[in-house]
């Protein structure tokens, strides 16, 4: 692309490699040592919670817990859609740019086409977050019905099956939050490729702290998890 500085492509490629390498490592950790990650540990604790609720028939507890999750998803989905539509209106109404007292195209990018690509990439992140949170709400709604059905009524609705439905909802919730986090890096790209690369390094450091909880082996027995009281996520 004519008019695009080499640093745009170089730092964009480096940022992509850094973020991709970390998430590949993260997924590998989820499969190899799940109890050293918050996602793997939370998944195990959710399975224990579902089994406890279904056996003890604690209907009110399950509805209240899932309602809180749906409220969080609803707020985050609405916010993502509002931001995405706001960015769309910014693209399709160029007269808004003239209201700003400085030249955005000179500050953000040397090429107007690249600037639009950055905005479109940012919109994709927020739309992806919107769909992820709405899918999470869908699975949480299904959970409201399945978790309150007595086990004796339908042998198919075992705690393992219900837990998998809850895991699908939480997976989409995690993907939506990842889209929010990565949108910060894309936003920094508007101010320059160097800012984006530095932002990706900072984000990886933060995500590592958020994704990894401990270095103990909890795979031996369930009672050890209960005794340690882990469940901080």
Query: What's the pLDDT score for residue 88?
Result: 85
What is the torsion angle, in degrees rounded to the nearest 10, for the CA atoms of residue 199, residue 108, residue 177 and residue 34?
-30
What's the confidence (pLDDT) of residue 177?
95
Neighbours of 229 (CB within 10 A): 7
Mean pLDDT for the stretch of residues 31-44:
87
DSSP codes of every residue in 80-141:
HHHHHHHHHHHHH-GGGGGGSSS-HHHHH-S-HHHHHHHHHHHHHHHHHHHHHHHHHHHHHH
Cβ atoms of residues 205 and 191 within 8 Å: no
Residue 190 CA to residue 88 CA, distance in Å, equals: 16
Task: Please tell me whether the overall predicted TM-score, pTM, comes out greater than 0.85 for this model.
Answer: no
Q: Name residues whose C-beta falls within 8 Å of residue 136's C-beta, 6 or more positions apart in sequence.
A: 69, 73, 169, 170, 172, 173, 176
Beta-carbon contacts of 89 under 8 Å, excluding residues fewer than 6 positions away, are 96
Q: What is the pLDDT of residue 217?
A: 53
Nearest to 11 by CA among 83, 116, 114: 114
Residue 1 confidence (pLDDT): 44
- In tens, the pLDDT along 58-109 reads 778 888 888 899 999 999 999 999 999 988 887 776 555 554 444 444 444 4
- Whether the predicted pLDDT of 222 surpasses 50: no
Report the alpha-carbon distance of residue 203 to residue 19 in Å, rounded. Answer: 9
DSSP 8-state code for residue 212: B
pLDDT grade for 199, boundaries at 50, 70 and 90: very high
Q: Is the pLDDT of residue 185 over 70?
A: yes
Which of 31-45, 56-70, 108-122 is least confident?
A: 108-122
Q: What is the pLDDT of residue 178?
A: 95
Tokens of 190: 């508007």
Q: Look up residue 13 and give its two tokens.
A: 């490629």
- Mean predicted confidence (pLDDT) in 173-202: 92
C-alpha 113/C-alpha 47 separation (Å) is 48
108 in Cβ contact with 191 (< 8 Å): yes
């Amino acid at each position: 692309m004519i008019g695009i500085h080499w640093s745009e492509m170089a730092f964009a490629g480096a940022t992509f490699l850094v973020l991709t390498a970390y998430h590949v490592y993260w997924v590998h950790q989820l499969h190899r040592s799940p109890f050293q990650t918050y996602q793997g540990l939370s998944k195990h604790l959710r399975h224990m919670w579902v089994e406890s609720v279904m056996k003890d028939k604690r209907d009110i507890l399950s509805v209240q817990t899932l309602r809180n999750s749906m409220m969080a998803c609803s707020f985050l989905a609405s916010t993502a859609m509002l931001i995405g539509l706001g960015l769309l209106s910014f693209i399709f109404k160029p007269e808004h740019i003239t209201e700003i007292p400085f030249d955005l195209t000179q500050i953000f990018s040397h090429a107007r086409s690249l600037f639009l690509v950055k905005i479109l990439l940012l919109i994709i992140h927020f739309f992806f977050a919107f769909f992820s949170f709405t899918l999470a709400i869908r699975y949480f709604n299904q959970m409201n019905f399945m978790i309150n059905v007595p086990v004796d009524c339908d042998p198919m609705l075992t705690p393992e099956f219900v837990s998998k439905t809850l895991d699908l909802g939480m997976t989409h919730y995690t993907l939506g939050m990842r889209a929010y986090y990565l949108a910060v890096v894309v936003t920094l790209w508007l101010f320059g490729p160097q800012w984006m690369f530095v932002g990706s390094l900072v984000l990886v450091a933060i995500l590592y702290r958020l994704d990894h909880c401990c270095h103990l082996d909890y795979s031996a027995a369930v009672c050890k998890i209960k005794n340690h009281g882990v469940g901080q996520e």
